[in-house]
Amino acid sequence: MAVDTIQPTIHADLPKARARRESQLGLMWRRFKRHKLALVSLWVVVIFYLVTLLAEFLAPTDPGAYSARYTYAPPQGIHFFAVNEDGGWEFGPYVNGYKTEIDPVALRRTFVIDEETRIPVRFFAESKPYMLAGIIPMSVKLMGLENPRDPFYILGADRLGRDMLSRVIHGTRISLSIGLVGVTMSLFFGIVIGGFAGYYGGWFDSAVMRVVEFIRSMPTIPLWLGLAAAMPKDWSALQTYFAITLILSLIGWTELARVVRGRFLSLRTEDFVTAAQLDGASDWRIVTRHMVPSFTSHIIAAATLAIPGMILAETALSFLGLGLQAPIVSWGTLLQDAQNIRTLATAPWLLAPGICVVIVILALNFFGDGLRDAADPHGR
């Protein structure tokens, strides 16, 4: 009789015991998987960041290679199956060629897809030697043509006859890396400055908060105009890239610093902080080893939601001519070619970088929402 009454209690307590043994990250992942839209967004973000790592391999051509013969050439659709001599279907990827016509109204040359001309496409095609991610020497591309002189514009060509697909792929690396590096630096500044402001309080806290309020009150556009004018014109593309990243980070840390400061104000009176102080731990150790890990999940969610802001800032600044400039290829610099109505009417494929921006921003926001819900200690 006693066994029968004890046994159900043991089985009922097993899930609770298992939950107690599960780590915080394990609990977050279990909650996160329930958010289907966030899970799909995670895979979208992973795919885009894989593109940044494999940009040289995925891009069919060099992003700077141009051909005046194919300016504003329309996109060529890839066909994976072709009709063989026996009338059946066989796997043979190809794209159609172009033929030129004269627009009777505008009296200018236009390209039309020639369905009678087939240009074979090869996967893992041989190419000129290059360095994958600047580290691994390779001479193979994901896609290529048997005859490199044939046109190959899956996403069309721009005003100089450059392949838009290759430029969008390489632009993904710049735009997404600025967001990732910028948020990493903002996290460092926000956690350290906001953490010590909340930990010490007093005049140091007041001084930090006045600096934060001053930075947040500054108008954005005039600030960027002044910073763009202050940058030396003889700087290389790499120096400009790091300068933009640093500036975005120095401005983007303020919001996280306010959140961390408020959290530290409530944590500094907790028993585990007092115990660490009585044990003789230094202030740096108390902040980094005891207080910050207590809300790591919130920091991860805040960082995920901050990356879209960094990407949008870089894209907007480069689009306005205040950020990165040619020959650097980013989504913002690519969108500079789509600033006039004539271009949009005749070459709408130049908006492809804008579509990528929308997809990535939505994916990062959905992913951040799911991560925030998963990190909520009161979530189910």
Integer angstrom CA distances of residue 367 from 37, 44, 296, 302: 8, 9, 17, 11
d(CA 42, CA 37): 9
Smallest CA-to-CA distance from 293 within 256, 253, 255, 263 is with: 263
d(CA 351, CA 344): 8
Please name the residues in contact with 299: beta carbons below 8 A apart, sequence gap of 6 or more: 187, 191, 256, 260, 292
The owner of tokens 């994958």 is: 132
Contact 292, 300 (CB under 8 A): no
Residue 204's Cβ-count burial label (10 Å; 0-12, 13-18, 19+) is middle
For 65-94, how does the pLDDT look when each residue is reduced to its tens digit (9 = 90+)? 888 888 888 888 888 877 666 666 777 788
d(CA 18, CA 41): 29
What are the DSSP E strand ranges found in the chain? 78-83, 89-102, 109-132, 136-145
What is the reported pLDDT for 1? 44
What is the reported pLDDT for 17? 42
Which residue ranges in the chain fall short of pLDDT 70?
Answer: 1-24, 83-88, 103, 105-107, 224, 227-228, 237-238, 296-297, 321-323, 342, 376-380
Residue 316 structure tokens: 């907007």
d(CA 315, CA 326): 13
pTM of the model: 0.77
What is the reported pLDDT for 43? 92
Q: Residue 327: is the preceding peptide bond cis (ω within 30°)?
A: yes
What is the reported pLDDT for 238? 67
